[in-house]
Structure 1
Amino acid sequence: MFLGYVLAIAGAVVGAVLLVASTFNPPLFAGLRMTAAAVTAPVSSGLAALGSAGATVTGAIDGWVFAHAENAAMKRELAVTRPLLMQARTIAYDNRRLRALLAVRDRTAQPVVAARLVSSTASSGRRFALLDAGRLHGIEIGMPVRGPDGLIGRVTETGPNAARVLLLSDTDSIVPVRRTRDGLPAIAAGRGDGLVDIRSVNTTNVRFDAGDVFVTSGTGGLYAPGAPVARVIASGADTVSARTFAHPDTLDFALVERPFIPVPPPAGLPTAAGR
Structure 2
Amino acid sequence: MAPPANRRSGFSRRAQYTTFLSYTAGVAGALVGLGLILGSIASPGAFSGVRRIAADATEPAGQATASGRAYGKHILASIGGFFVSGGEHARLQRELAEAKVRLIQAQATAAENRRLKQLLDLKHIDGDAVTFARLTGSTSASARRFALIDAGRDKGVAKGMPVRSATGLVGRILEVGATSAEVLLITDTESLVPVRRASDGVPAFAQGQGDGTIRVRLINLGINPLKQGDVLVASGSGGLYRPGTPMAVVTTLLRDGAVARVLSNPSDTDFVMIERAWGPEAPPPPAVPSQAASE
TM more than 0.5: yes
2:173 to 151, 155, 167: 155
Deviates more, 1:195-204 or 1:224-233: 195-204
Q: Which residue of 1 aligns with 2:9?
A: none
Shift in Å at residue 79 of structure 1?
A: 4.7
Residue ranges of structure 2 left out of the alignment (5+ in a row): 1-19, 285-295
- Once the two structures are superposed, what CA deviation does each residue of 1:38-82 show, in whole Å capped at 9, x if it has no partner? 3x3333222111110122123334444554333333333345454
5 Å matches for 1:135-214?
Answer: 135-214=153-232
**Change over 3 Å in CA distance of 1:25–1:133 after alignment to 2:** closer
Candidates 131, 136, 143, aligned match of 1:118 = 136
Which structure is larger by alpha-carbon Rg, 1 or 2?
A: 2
Q: Which ranges in structure 1 are unaligned for 5 or more consecutive residues?
A: 266-275
Following TM superposition, by how much is the alpha carbon of 1:137 offset from its aligned partner in structure 2, in angstroms? Answer: 1.1
Aligned to 1:51: 69
State how far apart, in whole Å, the 2-side matches of 1:101 and 1:25 are.
95
Q: Secondary structure at the match of 2:183?
A: strand
Give the structure-2-normalised TM-score.
0.78
What CA deviation, in whole Å up to 9, does each residue of 1:95-121 have, x standing for no partner?
A: 111111221222212211111111112
Change (3 A) 1:25 1:73: closer
1:1-275 mapped onto 2 (5 Å cutoff): 9-18=27-36, 26=46, 30=50, 34=53, 37-38=56-57, 40-261=58-279, 263-264=282-283
CA–CA distance in structure 2, aligned partners of residues 71 and 199 of structure 1 = 62
Take 2:67 and 2:159, find their aligned partners in 1: how far apart are those partners?
91
RMSD between superposed Cα atoms in Å: 3.0
Report percent identity of matched pairs.
42
Whole-Å separation in 2 of the counterparts to 1:182 and 1:59: 76
Moved more, 21-30 or 210-219: 21-30
Cα deviation for residue 244 of structure 1 reads 0.6
Note the C-alpha offset of 1:123. 3.6
Moved more, 20-29 or 141-150: 20-29
In the alignment, the residues of structure 2 paired with residue 24 and residue 70 of structure 1 have an alpha-carbon distance, to the nearest angstrom, of: 56
Q: Which moved more, 1:56-65 or 1:185-194?
A: 56-65
Q: Distance in 1 between matches of 2:262 and 2:24?
A: 116
Task: Give the SS at the match of 1:234.
Answer: strand
Q: Which moved more, 1:123-132 or 1:11-20?
A: 11-20
Does the 8 Å CA contact 1:123/1:193 hold for their aligned counterparts?
no
Query: Partner of 1:208: helix, strand, or coil?
Result: coil
Give the direction of change, closer, same or farther, for the CA distance of 1:15–1:174 in structure 2 (3 Å limit).
same
The answer to whether the Cα contact below 8 Å between 1:207 and 1:237 also exists between their aligned partners in 2 is: no
